[in-house]
Amino acid sequence: MSSWDAEPVWITVAPIGAEVSRKDHPGLPHTPREVIAASLEAVEAGASIIHLHARLPDGTPSGDPVLFRETIDGIRKKSSALTMNSTGGAVWMSMGERTRCLDALPDLCALETGSLNFDDEVFATSRPDSIATAARAHALGIGIEIEAFDVGHVVAAARMLREGHLLGPLMVNMVLGVRGGIDASPEGLAALLRPLPPDSRWSVTAVGRHQRRMLAVGILLGASGIRVGFEDNVKLRHDRLANSNAELVADAADLVRSLGRRVASPAEVRTCLLRGLADAREGDTG
Ligand code: KMH
Ligand code: ZN
């Protein structure tokens, strides 16, 4: 392996989510205007990728591409951070509703490659739906980050790569600690990394109280990125509510630096992820 500790670590902020509400954090952004403000503040604090969901003004999750587009436009006007639309949506959304957000043309989208129990609910993504969503993202020039909540999701992504449904190298976000998915432990992360094809890029997300220590494990094992934000955890160091998404990003940036690595800039992440996409396309057309 090349000297991974010299490689910068990108920070993704997930400021909104779909399963969190203002009961969990009164400052949860809902409207595009609120999301843009929270995102730009997070970029100032060190984030280079914004993982987006959309909400109606009353907080109901929505797949409306107009809401996503307004948010993306506002972020792009004032920063070079990469935008990533969730095609996971909310657990209760149909696949059609989840994927409408691709029409807003983000830089990247998050894609599920399998199903799991999401606490008491079923979060279902069939293989044909994953393949169709990947094809649509490719056709629109949108990069893909796989969201792996359990080992089978990584295995399924590797199969999609082998079969040509995904462009390489894979970019996989390892999500630890969802009730129903893999547990937030070093062994859990190792299990997710085992089926990952060589040369893949991977990042770590951990929900709730295990977040900071699992991000540290990822940083030390060579993760390309880490993710924080109200979608995953509303508390700072699990004893008080974070003041903002930006405060969580600043804390994550401190963690990266304290472990001897450096925080990637949006320009570095753009070059790394979007050039990879262009190279893969050239390879395709031969
Ligand atoms: N809201 C979760 C059910 C993603 O963004 O792709 C799915 C989710 C993952 O948030
Ligand atoms: Zn999400």
Within 13 Å and on the Cβ side, how many CA atoms surround 253?
18
- The amino acid at 87: T
For ligand 1, mutation pick of 147, 173, 232 (most atoms within 8 Å of CB)? 147
Q: Which residues of 37-62 are buried (b: 16+ CB within 10 A; e: fewer)?
A: bbbbbbbebbbbbbbbbbbeeebebb
pLDDT tens series, the chain, 286 aa: 457 778 999 999 999 999 999 999 999 999 999 999 999 999 999 999 999 999 999 999 999 999 999 999 999 999 999 999 999 999 999 999 999 999 999 999 999 999 999 999 999 999 999 999 999 999 999 999 999 999 999 999 999 999 999 999 999 999 999 999 999 999 999 999 999 999 999 999 999 889 999 999 999 999 999 999 999 999 998 789 999 999 999 999 999 999 999 999 999 999 988 776 666 666 654 3
3-state helix, strand, coil in the chain (%, to 5): 45, 20, 35
Residue whose tokens read 């030390």: 220
Distance CA 34, CA 2 (A): 41
210 Cα: distance to centroid of ligand 2 (angstroms): 18
pTM: 0.96
Nearest CA to ligand 1 atom 6: 88
118 lines ligand 1 (CB under 6 A): yes
Nearest CA to ligand 1 atom 7: 88
Nearest residue by C-alpha to atom 8 in ligand 1: 88
Check pocket membership of 41 for ligand 1, CB cut-off 6 A.
no
Is residue 113 within 8 Å of 157, Cβ to Cβ? yes
- Which residue, chain included where needed, has tokens 């970019």? 171
Specify the residue with its C-alpha closest to ligand 1, atom 9.
88
